[in-house]
Amino acid sequence: MAIRTIRVVPDPVLRTPCDEVKEITPAIEQLVHDLVETVDDPGRAGLSANQIGINLRIFSYNVGHELGYIINPHIVELRGTQYGEEGCLSLPGLWYKTRRADYARAEGIDLSGKKIILEGSGLKGRMIQHECDHLDGHIYIDRLEKDERLKALRMLRK
């Protein structure tokens, strides 16, 4: 296992939609272990594979003393609304209020190919949406309201 270097904006891999994992191979198992080890650090809630330069639909998470991963996640349900501070490992030091659903439910698979469900409200719901956005080639500042987005883009140019 290894702690991987996190890619930051404007790295183009962060804007590239990720490919589905077609087969669980030893390389995929190693990638999952690396993602989990890399996210297992205080202040890190989630980490998508493209944030470490791998264009595959996998993310790891570390929320509420729960450490895990999901392969090929897709959001199947969103409910409610939350509006709060959000940050990103690929945008270090930038935190902006972002509107998200309060509850999110994603379905995917584990390393044995079994269907798994990852769901939660609050921070966990936010993390699921944030990481699935990464896997679709989006970053959270894309979701900011106009004035906040302009502030974020100005900060990125500095």
- H runs (alpha helix) in the chain: 26-39, 123-135, 146-157
CA dihedral 59→107→84→80, nearest 10 degrees, is 180
Active-site positions read 131
Task: Fill in the amino acid letter for 31.
Answer: L
CA distances to 22, 35, 44, 90, 130 from 138, in Å: 22, 19, 18, 11, 9
